[in-house]
Structure 1
Amino acid sequence: MSENCKPLLSIEDFCVSFGDRQCVFDVNLAIGRGERVALVGESGSGKSVTALSVLRLVRDATHTGRIVFDGEDLLTKSEQQMRGVRGADIAMVFQEPMTALNPLYTVGQQIAESLRLHEGLRPNAARERGIELLRRTGIPEPERRIDSYPHQLSGGQRQRAMIAMALACRPRLLLADEPTTALDVTVRQQIVDLLIGLQEQEAQERGMAVLLITHDLNLVRRFAQRVAVMEKGVLVETNTTEALFANPQHPYTKRLLDSEPRRAIESVPDDAQNVLSIEGLAVDYRTNAKGWRSLLGRTAFRALHEVDLTLRRGETLGIVGESGSGKSTLASTVLGLQRATIGDVKVAGKPLREYRSSSKAWRALCARMQIVFQDPFGSLSPRMTIEQIVGEGLRIHRPQLDAPERRARIVELLQEVGLSAEVLLRYPHEFSGGQRQRIAIARALAVEPELIVLDEPTSALDVSVQQQVLGLLTRLQKKYGLSYLFITHDLAVIRAMAHRVVVMKSGRIVETGHTLDVFDTPSHPYTQSLLAASILQNAAALKENIA
C-alpha cells in the first residue's frame, strides 16, 4: 500500500477461535483504496476464515481484535447493521458459482434482489441495471441471458454472473475467493482480465479495492499489487508482488514459490508396446431437436470426430483443451462408459467390443484400467472406511484373498502412497484434500492396472500438495510401468508430467506431438492461444527445471 493511500480496510491483531482451538493468530493487514491485494496460503492456513470474517460470515467462532472498514469496526456492528454492509459496501465472489447461485431463480432475479434491498429499485429498473451489468461483464446476449437459470450457463458465464451480482451496488471492497480455480485457461484469463478492468474503472470512480484469496501463484503474479502470505493461521510475510516473487524472506514463502511442477519423467523405450490405440474414433450423443426439427424426433450431436492416438506402456499422454472440447467424452469412451459410433478403441490390441462379449472378459478389462477423479471427496464414499474403499477392488477382482491377506495388501498400498496403517478405520472427511487424493490413487492401484485415467487429479489441490501428488504419480509410473491418460487444463502440470500431448478443440485433435516441442513451438493457432492464456509467467523458470 502506498504512503498516500489511506486504508480502506484495516485488520488489526485479529484472532479467530472455534471453541478451544485457535486458527487465526494476531493478523495485521491493511488494504488501501483502489488497491489489489492477494492473500495466499495452503488449505487450512486461515485465509478464507480471515476473509469471511470481514463480512462476519464465520459462525460459531470467537473473534478478537478489530476489522476496521472506512473507519468503523465491523466486529462491533449488529447483525442488522451488517446486512446493510454486505453486498452494498463489501461484496464477495465465491469459488464455485454453481453452488453460490440459487438454482431456483434466474440470474436476473438474483441480481435484482441486491438492487431491491440496497437501492430500492423497482423491478423494471433493476432488470435494466442487471442487463447492463451482464453486458459489462462480457456475457453475450445479456437481454436473453438475464432470464437464464444458473444451469443454463457455462462455467465462465456463471462466474461472470457472480461478478455482476457482486458489482450490482458498486461496493468499495470486493472479496474474491478462488474465483478462477475450476475454469479453463482461456476462460481463467478472461475472468482475470475482466476483474482487473472492472477494478481499475471502479478504483478511479469510487476507489474500489479487491482482496483476492487464492493458492494460484501465477494468478497472484498477474493480478495483485501486494501479497500477504499465511501459514497455519499466522501472517508470515507481506510485500509488493514484484519484491515477494523476486526475493521471498520467509521459509514458507520460499517453499510455496518453489512448489511449481518440475519435469522429472523418464523417456519411454522405443520398443514399448501400445497399451491403448484409437483409430478413427467418432462419438455421437442423441439429443432432443429444437424448433421444427423436433417433428423429426431425436437428432445426433457429434462430440468426437476422427480421433487417432496411441499410448505406450510407461508413457503419459496429456489431453488438453477447453470445456466442450471432447476430453471427458474421450476418457469415457476409453473406459467403456460411452460406446463409439465409428472407429475402434483397442486395449492391448483387442477392441473393446470383444471384451464386452463376456462378463468375465469385461471384468478383467476393468482391472486393467482405472480412474482417479478431480474431486477426491466426491469420489470417495463418506460411509465407507479407508480400508473398505481401498479394498473394494480387491474383493471384486481378487476374491482368492482372505481377510488377513486383503488387509495386508491394503496396508501395503497405503504405505505406497505415503499413508500409514493407522488410517484404516477412518473416514474420508477426516483427511485433507491431498491425503484424500492419495487414498484415491491407492484404490486405483489395488487391482494392478496398466492404464490409469487421471481426470484433473490436482486442480483442487494447493501448489505444494499438488507437487507431492505429481511426484507420487511419477514415482509410481517408474516403479510399475504405468500408462497415464492425463486430462487437465493446467498446462504447467502437462509440461511437467506428459511425454506427449494432444490438443483438442470442438471434438477434434488439432495438434499432437512431444510435449516440449508443442509447448515451445506450437503450430496450430488454437494451441498458441491456449499457451498465451495459461498465465505461465514463470515459463522460463520451468524450463530451467526440466531434467
Structure 2
Amino acid sequence: MAKPLLEIEHLSIRFGEQGEKLVVDDLCLSVAAGERVALVGESGSGKSVTALSVLRLAEHAKTSGRIMLDGEDLLQKTEQQMRGIRGADVAMVFQEPMTALNPLFTIGQQIAESLRLHEGLRANAARARGIELLARTGIPEPERRIDSYPHQLSGGQRQRAMIAMALACRPRLLLADEPTTALDVTVRRQIVDLLIELQEQEAAHHGMAVLLITHDLNLVRHFAQRVAVMEKGVLVESNATAELFDAPRHPYTQRLLASEPQRQVEPVASGAKRVMEVQGLCVDYATSGLFRRRAFRALHGVDLSLRHGETLGVVGESGSGKSTLAATLLGLQPPAAGSVHIDGMPLSTLRTASSRKSLYAKLQVVFQDPFGSLSPRMTVEQIVGEGLRVHRPELDAGERRERVAALLQEVGMPWDVMLRYPQEFSGGQRQRIAIARALAVEPEILILDEPTSALDVSIQKQVLSLLANLQKNRRLSYLFITHDLAVIRAMAHRVVVMKSGRIVETGETSDVMDAPTHPYTRKLVAASMIAATPLAV
C-alpha cells in the first residue's frame, strides 16, 4: 500500500459548553494516496462530523488528537492556513448540491472563484478551465451550462457541477459526503462510475484519494477498496471491501449487512375488490411562454388499479410523473382528462368540503421527509390526533388521547412521547409518528411517497417491516412510490414503471424485475444492480 496521505490519530470530537457530548471517540483511520476508502454507519455514528473536522468546518466542536495530511497536522493550522488548504489540497462534495451551491451565482462563477483564489487564474483562463471540467464530468453543452444557475440544472447535473468544482484545483484528497443519496437510481450509478473514473485519472497523476461517507452499502461495495465502520462515534471494524462483506466480524457490521429489505408480503385475497381505479388520466400544467400561456402535459393516459390488501409499486426517475400522479389521486391537482374512482366514488364529483372529507377518511398519505411534513409547533398528541378531531368529532378529549396512545403503540412508539415535539425524535421515529397520523382515521388506502428514502438501511428495514405488518393486520392497500427497486422487490405485489408521464410497463413484481421487457425498465434494473458488479480494486 502507498504511504498514508491522511492519518487520523486518536481523534475525539465533543460538543457542548463543557464538551460533555462525545460524538467521536478515539478514532484512528488512514487513507493512502490513490486509495478509495468508505466510512459507513448510521445517522449519528460520527461519519459526517469526522469529514467536516478534516476541513475544520465542524462548528463549535472541541477536538483532540491529530489529523495528519501528508505529515502535517491540520488541527494545528491557523484559519488562514486552512483557507489555503480547503479546495486546493482537500475538497468536498456534499450530499445536497442545491443547498451547497450559491443560488445567486452561475456555475461558472463558482468554479472560477476557486481557480482565482488558489491558482491565480484570470477570468478567461478560469472560464476555459471551467468548461473543460464540466465536459469532463459529463455535463452536456458545457459552453452553455457554465452560465447556468444551480436551479436551472437537474439534480444529477448539479452534483456533476459540484464534482467539477471540487476537482478544479486538483486536490490530493476528495471527501464525498453522501454524494448520491438524493439522486435517482440511474443518475446515482452514473455519478458513482464518474467518481471512480475521475479518481483513477487523478490518482495516476498525483495520487488523489477519496474518503466516501455513506450508509449505502451497495454503493460501498461497488466503489471502495477498503471500508471502515463506525457505530456511535467508535470505529468498530475496518477491512478490505471484499473481506468485510464476505466475513464481517463485528455484530454491528453484521446487522448493517443484514439490513437489505426482505420480501414480506401477504398474498392478495382471491376476488379482492378494487379500491382504486384510474382510467385515461391526463394532467396538464400551465407554463408561461413569451406571448401566451402553454400547457405542459405531465401525465398521458395513465391506467392503473389497486385492490384491497394489495401494494402497487410506482417506479421511475425524477420527472416521470410519480409525484403528479400522487397529487392528482389526493385531489390536489385537477386532471385534464380521465377518471379516478376511490372505493367506487368518482373523484370528479367530490367538489364540496363534506365530500372531500369522506375521501380523506379513505385515503391518506405518508411523505418522504417526516421532518418537513410534521409541524414543529405541535406535540405528537396533537399531530396524531388532528385527523380524529376532524373525522371523529364525537370523541371527547379523553377518548382521543386513548386512541392516540393506541396508535403510537401500534407503530412501535411508547405512549408517553405524546407531549414531545417532532424535533426531539430520530428520522425513523418521526416516520413512525407520520404513519400513526395517517392511520388515525382508519383509511383503506395509503399513498407512500418515498417513505424510506431518507432513512438509514437498518431503520428502513424496520419501517418496511412495520408497513408490512400493518397491511397484514389492517388489510390496507398501498400505492408505494419510490425509485428504490430493492424496496419494490420487498413490498410490492405489482409494479408500474413510469417514464415521461406514461406507464411503459406493468405486471407482477417478480416478472417486471427479473425479466423486464421495456428498454427503460431494463435500464432501471441494470442501474440498481450496483452490488452485483465486480468490486473496485
Contact 2:222–2:530 (CA<8 Å) still a contact in 1?
no
Q: 1:352-391 to 2 correspondence within 5 Å? A: 352-356=347-351, 358-391=352-385
User: In the alignment, does 2:227 pair up with 1:227?
Assistant: yes
User: What amino acid does structure 1 have at the position aligned with 2:263?
Assistant: R
User: In the alignment, does 2:63 pair up with 1:63?
Assistant: yes
Report the secondary structure of 1:410's partner residue: helix
Q: TM-score, normalised by structure 2?
A: 0.98
Report the secondary structure of 2:12's partner residue: strand
User: What amino acid does structure 1 have at the position aligned with 2:68?
Assistant: V
Contact 1:92–1:175 (CA<8 Å) still a contact in 2?
yes
1:536, distance to aligned residue in structure 2 (A): 4.6
Contact 1:492–1:536 (CA<8 Å) still a contact in 2?
no
**Matching residue within 501, 504, 507 for 1:510:** 504
Report the secondary structure of 2:270's partner residue: coil
Q: Which residue of 2 aligns with 1:528?
A: 522
Report the secondary structure of 1:52's partner residue: helix
Contact 1:11–1:68 (CA<8 Å) still a contact in 2?
yes
Report the secondary structure of 2:268's partner residue: coil
User: In the alignment, does 2:445 pair up with 1:451?
Assistant: yes
**Matching residue within 10, 13, 20 for 2:10:** 13
Q: Which residue of 2 aligns with 1:544?
A: none
User: In the alignment, does 2:337 pair up with 1:337?
Assistant: no
Q: Which residue of 1 aligns with 2:98?
A: 98
User: CA–CA distance in 2 between the matches of 1:396 and 1:210?
Assistant: 53
1:430, distance to aligned residue in structure 2 (A): 0.8
Report the secondary structure of 2:531's partner residue: coil
User: CA–CA distance in 2 between the matches of 1:536 and 1:170?
Assistant: 28
| Structure 2: runs of 5+ lacking an equivalent | none
Q: Deviations over 1:46-95 (max 9, x none)?
A: 11111111001111111111100011000111111111110100000000
1:379, distance to aligned residue in structure 2 (A): 0.8
Q: Which residue of 2 aligns with 1:82?
A: 82
Q: 1:305-324 to 2 correspondence within 5 Å? A: 305-324=300-319
**Matching residue within 530, 534, 537 for 2:531:** 537
Contact 2:189–2:530 (CA<8 Å) still a contact in 1?
no
Q: Which residue of 2 aligns with 1:167?
A: 167
Report the secondary structure of 2:8's partner residue: strand
Q: Which residue of 2 aligns with 1:480?
A: 474
1:21, distance to aligned residue in structure 2 (A): 1.4
Report the secondary structure of 1:95's partner residue: coil
Contact 1:189–1:535 (CA<8 Å) still a contact in 2?
no
1:535, distance to aligned residue in structure 2 (A): 3.0
Q: Which residue of 1 aligns with 2:431?
A: 437
1:148, distance to aligned residue in structure 2 (A): 0.9
Report the secondary structure of 1:401's partner residue: coil
User: In the alignment, does 2:402 pair up with 1:405?
Assistant: no
User: In the alignment, does 2:293 pair up with 1:327?
Assistant: no
Report the secondary structure of 1:308's partner residue: strand
1:207, distance to aligned residue in structure 2 (A): 0.3
Contact 2:177–2:212 (CA<8 Å) still a contact in 1?
yes
Report the secondary structure of 1:533's partner residue: helix
Contact 1:90–1:171 (CA<8 Å) still a contact in 2?
yes
User: CA–CA distance in 2 between the matches of 1:379 and 1:360?
Assistant: 24
User: CA–CA distance in 1 between the matches of 2:270 and 2:342?
Assistant: 19
User: What amino acid does structure 1 have at the position aligned with 2:350?
Assistant: Y
Q: 1:38-49 to 2 correspondence within 5 Å? A: 38-49=38-49
**Matching residue within 495, 504, 507 for 2:489:** 495
User: What amino acid does structure 1 have at the position aligned with 2:389?
Assistant: R
User: CA–CA distance in 1 between the matches of 2:183 and 2:155?
Assistant: 7
Contact 2:94–2:178 (CA<8 Å) still a contact in 1?
yes
**Matching residue within 296, 300, 303 for 1:301:** 296
Q: 1:282-293 to 2 correspondence within 5 Å? A: 282-289=282-289
Q: Which residue of 1 aligns with 2:53?
A: 53
Q: Which residue of 2 aligns with 1:543?
A: none
Q: 1:63-212 to 2 correspondence within 5 Å? A: 63-212=63-212
Q: Deviations over 1:261-318 (max 9, x none)?
A: 00011110121111100011111111112xxxx33x1111111111111000111000
User: CA–CA distance in 1 between the matches of 2:187 and 2:23?
Assistant: 34
1:247, distance to aligned residue in structure 2 (A): 0.5
Contact 1:219–1:535 (CA<8 Å) still a contact in 2?
no
Which shows bigger deviation, 527-536 or 431-440? 527-536
Q: Which residue of 2 aligns with 1:250?
A: 250
Q: Which residue of 1 aligns with 2:260?
A: 260
1:104, distance to aligned residue in structure 2 (A): 1.0
Contact 1:222–1:535 (CA<8 Å) still a contact in 2?
no
| Structure 1: runs of 5+ lacking an equivalent | 540-547
Report the secondary structure of 2:378's partner residue: coil
Contact 1:40–1:213 (CA<8 Å) still a contact in 2?
yes
Report the secondary structure of 2:91's partner residue: strand
Contact 1:111–1:130 (CA<8 Å) still a contact in 2?
yes
Q: Deviations over 1:233-265 (max 9, x none)?
A: 100000010000000000000000000000011
User: CA–CA distance in 2 between the matches of 1:454 and 1:538?
Assistant: 28
Q: Deviations over 1:452-485 (max 9, x none)?
A: 1111110110000000000000000011111111
Q: Deviations over 1:144-199 (max 9, x none)?
A: 11111111110001101110111111100000000000101110011001100000
Q: Which residue of 1 aligns with 2:215?
A: 215
1:110, distance to aligned residue in structure 2 (A): 0.8
Percentage of pairs with the same residue: 74
User: What amino acid does structure 2 have at the position aligned with 1:305?
Assistant: H
User: CA–CA distance in 2 between the matches of 1:78 and 1:425?
Assistant: 46
Q: Which residue of 1 aligns with 2:27?
A: 27
User: CA–CA distance in 2 between the matches of 1:29 and 1:125?
Assistant: 38
Contact 1:376–1:433 (CA<8 Å) still a contact in 2?
yes
User: CA–CA distance in 2 between the matches of 1:463 and 1:301?
Assistant: 37
User: CA–CA distance in 2 between the matches of 1:282 and 1:21?
Assistant: 54
User: CA–CA distance in 1 between the matches of 2:218 and 2:377?
Assistant: 37
User: What amino acid does structure 2 have at the position aligned with 1:32?
Assistant: A
User: CA–CA distance in 1 between the matches of 2:378 and 2:127?
Assistant: 48
User: What amino acid does structure 2 have at the position aligned with 1:12?
Assistant: E
Q: Which residue of 1 aligns with 2:462?
A: 468
After superposing on structure 2, the runs of 4+ consecutive aligned residues of structure 1 that deviate more than 3 Å are none
User: CA–CA distance in 2 between the matches of 1:536 and 1:331?
Assistant: 29
Contact 2:228–2:235 (CA<8 Å) still a contact in 1?
yes
User: What amino acid does structure 2 have at the position aligned with 1:165?
Assistant: M
User: What amino acid does structure 2 have at the position aligned with 1:60?
Assistant: H
Report the secondary structure of 2:488's partner residue: helix
User: CA–CA distance in 1 between the matches of 2:530 and 2:91?
Assistant: 29
User: CA–CA distance in 1 between the matches of 2:122 and 2:399?
Assistant: 70
User: CA–CA distance in 1 between the matches of 2:522 and 2:177?
Assistant: 29
User: CA–CA distance in 1 between the matches of 2:200 and 2:274?
Assistant: 53
1:451, distance to aligned residue in structure 2 (A): 0.8
User: CA–CA distance in 1 between the matches of 2:345 and 2:328?
Assistant: 15
User: CA–CA distance in 2 between the matches of 1:145 and 1:393?
Assistant: 47
Report the secondary structure of 1:200's partner residue: helix
